[in-house]
Chain A
Amino acid sequence: MSAVVRLVGAAVWLFMVAAAACVFVYFALSIAPGNSDCGSSPPALSDWISAAAQGDLGFSDGIDCGDRVAAMLYRRAPKTVVLLGWALAVVMTLSTLLVWSWRAYRGTWSTRISRSAAYLFSAAPVFILAHWLIEAVNTGVYVTLGELSAPSWFPLPVISSPTEFGWVRLLCAGTVLAVGSGAMIRTARTLEAETDRLMKSEAVLFARGHGFGPWKVVGPALVGPVLALLRSRVLSFFGGAVIVERIFVTGGIGQLTWDAARSRDWHALLGATLVWSAAYAVFVLVSEGVLALVDPRFRRPEAS
């Protein structure tokens, strides 16, 4: 019961926070100079809120004068979801592998090399990595396949038709996002530190004493930290998505955010903010729920 109450409380809290974020964006925009590309003026906050409450996000002011913001977001959301999902999967897989190899081969040369390589890649900002990746993929495909037998998505980031989803561009962008700007190394190090801390804890000694393997204890205990890690990753990934989506021209919500800021598309920006903070709230709630299912301390807080 207490978990349900906690979740409802968290939902209300997150809803209020999301609304406040929209208001923050609105005020930031209302003092920004510039005319929208469709020649319209910014909406009144109260009008926008009452319309948004009824599910109407209005028409775009700059990116596409004839389109509804809700339709724009609906079309673009799958791309950003794929991008972020792939980035999260890559970063978690890579950093798990790294941590595993660092722990398994502690002190050897291979560990040192992989550690340095991870540092080096992660030190490159996403925009540099994106630039390199585009060059490398294009040249690689051209050299190996030649132009005539090249696949339809080639060269990057060209689109062959309006119906194309752009998987390759999205996966490339996601990979860059997962590795660059310190994302991978930071995740790996946090994971390593958490594992080390848990491995040294009394619970592990206790489990070993009873003949269990340490992972029986460490595994569930890692869920909390990993979820917290995912939460912070997803936040910074969305910021990074604005950059990689612009470079890879993926046409997702990140690109929309940048374009909307440049063309003073008030409605699209507010809509994107709303969608983003709502999605984040859902993400947080789900992770809280998962945590409550996995971690006994969350199920019965009085017992901890």
Chain B
Amino acid sequence: MNRRDRFTAGWATRFGGLLVAASVLTGPVAAAQDVVPFTYVEDNEPSSLHPSYVRKMVEVRMNELIFEGLFTTDQYLKPVGELAKQWTVRRDNKAIDIELYERYWHGPERRPVTADDVLFTIQALQDERSQSTKARAVSFIRRAAATCAAGTDPCRNVRLEFTRPIPEPERFLVFKILPAHKFPVGKPLKMRGDPFHRQPIGSGPFKFLRRSENIIGLERATEAEDANLLSRVNAQFMPDKELQVRILNFGNIHSVIRILPKDRAVVEKNQKVSLKPYSTFSWWYIGLNHRNPHLQDLNVRKAIAMAIDRTDIRKSTLGDGETITGPFSPRSPYYNKEVKPHETSGLRKRARAKKIEALMRKAGYRRERRGPRYFVKKKFRVNLTMKVSSDLRPYQLAVLNIQTALQRAGFRVSLRWLEASAYQQVVREKKDFDMTVSQWTFSQNADVRPLFHSEGRLNYINYRLKEMDRRLDEARSAQDPDVLLAINARIHELAHDDLPYIFLWSLVDYSAVSRKLSGVRIHPYNYFAWTDSWRWR
């Protein structure tokens, strides 16, 4: 606590006497507890802890603690076995044989994890009636079978056959395995109403202990060999980001998952925590609705891209990161470093304004005489509605800056914040929007085909370009990693030239972690994948 804080706190000491009494009445003091749970703070609560129905990142992180997949990634992001002990990939890349480790499901019965669990999980996820959000993660598996000799119990060998050749299939076999004995045989998973959503049973390092409103308690599943390992984990849910930063000062909270750029300076000064950067495989973009008559015109899209000084906005509002030029994270091998951004190709501010003017004139627009001099075409003003999910509320300064940049360039932009659930329906399903600011977060397997292919599942921007379709198809059928690299570089270039999105930036996220912990490494996607190295000092 610095001097100013102490000063501001001075008057509050009067509460002290009362609070001492209150603290004696309300329970044991923290120091008296023998096991200190590792406590981390999230913004919102998970709706479900069922790994087959993951919708929010908070659920991804909790699942990582409770469940295991066949494979996971090491700190160099290379696939390593998690449940898989040994495996061989068939030479044509169309099948894999896996032998599982000897692992047990949480709970007093100590049932072993067997091939049946793997088969059940794949079957349950593939069942359309399950409506699992992870169905796509197993869509490439054609057949799964146990490959033990008759009478082996428990059977730990499986063979998975794929619909098409999959190079490095380990990278895709990261979906979490479910305990088959907890589900009725031959029935689909339940989207809601199954107690498993609330009290999951996994085979991961931590088992579900207890849950109440706003907190979930986990406990190490097996006796830890090292007393300094995390033995208990509490996940707290607290919507107010400022409070999250504030309570870090007091030491009972050991980690805040995401520190906002505006709070970084405050946290940096805090002696109790250290800021841990972790680059996620995510990038921000402005989605443009290609049904909008204005935005159909490539010149207009280019002018819009020109109008936004991405580096400037990112630096002033979001902090560390990189401006991107195409649909990949700069950490991805597919990112084409040779493509240069539109707005900074050697142009100063005034030159850029001229270029925007020229582009818009080419597209048949002129400026209004009065007011802020917006662009008009045949008396129709460029009036764009930018719908943004309230999930981005913490980053609203960046969104406001984008709006201002566009308005100043002559595009009338109305900003609308929609609640996350309404956003999903209005923008993603009904496609009722002109522009949207959003971000994609990928696990390490970045596949942009669903985003830009005219039949893509996530192509909610109505984008349609034959050339793009062709290249995405090529990328899908490519076998050789080098060929794939080359094709993706071309996709990157094409996306940059044709601007289905305005690509914005990829950020470095910061997490605050208590200095009482050492060996903290954070997985860019799952966050908790490497907790085995976390130790109390």
Contacts and interface: CB of A to CB of B under 8 A. Distances in A.
Interface in B148-170: none
B175 to A, nearest CB: 18
Given A136-B15, A144-B16, A65 B191 contact: yes
A31 B330 CA distance: 42
Nearest to A156: B247
A161 B214 CA distance: 10
Contacts of B50: 65-66
A93 interface: no
A159 B235 CA distance: 10
B55 A150 contact: no
B425 A154 contact: no
Interface residues of B, number: 75
Contacts of B20: 144-145
A154 B48 contact: no
B15 A160 contact: no
Contacts of A263: 47, 421
Contact of A64 (B12, B14, B47): B47
Contacts of B216: 162
B131 to A, nearest CB: 6
Interface in B10-27: 10, 12-17, 19-20, 22-24, 26-27
B23 A38 contact: no
Interface of A is mostly: loop
Contacts of A76: 213
Contacts of A141: 15-16, 19, 23
A37 B45 CA distance: 11
A150 B250 contact: yes
A255 B192 contact: no
B29 interface: yes
B48 A38 contact: yes
B192 A168 contact: no
A251 B419 contact: no
Contact of B192 (A60, A150, A154): A60
Contact of B22 (A60, A79, A151): A151
A256 B30 CA distance: 29
Given A140-B16, A144-B19, A152 B131 contact: no
Q: Which of B20, B47, B211 has the most CB of A within 10 A?
A: B47
A249 B1 contact: no
A141 B20 CA distance: 8
Given A140-B19, A142-B1, A154-B23, A59 B47 contact: no
B47 A65 contact: yes
B191 A158 contact: no
A140 B234 contact: no
B146 interface: no
Contacts, number: 213
B48 A152 contact: no
Chain A interface extent, by class: 35 or more
Interface string B201-218: 000000001111111110
Interface stretch (B85-93, B236-244, B307-315): B236-244
B252 interface: yes
A297 interface: no
Interface in A43-69: 59-67
B53 interface: yes
B198 interface: yes
A264 interface: yes
B193 A59 contact: yes
A152 B1 contact: no
Interface string B175-208: 0000000000000000111111111000000000
Nearest to A265: B47
Contact of A262 (B191, B194, B240, B419): B419
B430 to A, nearest CB: 8
B250 A64 contact: no
A139 B5 contact: yes
Given A33-B426, A38-B48, A66-B197, A136 B12 contact: yes
Contact of A259 (B17, B28, B45): B45
A75 interface: yes
Contacts of A262: 419-421
Q: Which of A33, A66, A76 has the most CB of B within 10 A?
A: A66
Nearest to A136: B12
Given A157-B243, A159-B214, A36 B199 contact: no
19 contacts: A38-B191, A38-B197, A40-B191, A65-B50, A65-B191, A66-B197, A139-B8, A140-B9, A142-B1, A142-B250, A144-B16, A145-B19, A151-B26, A152-B26, A162-B209, A164-B215, A167-B26, A251-B213, A251-B214
9 closest residue pairs by CB, A with B: A251-B213, A66-B197, A144-B16, A151-B23, A66-B198, A34-B421, A140-B15, A140-B12, A139-B9
Given A39-B192, A66-B48, 20 more contacts: A34-B421, A37-B421, A38-B192, A59-B193, A62-B47, A64-B47, A66-B50, A67-B197, A137-B19, A140-B19, A141-B19, A143-B1, A143-B6, A151-B24, A151-B27, A162-B216, A247-B240, A249-B238, A249-B239, A251-B212
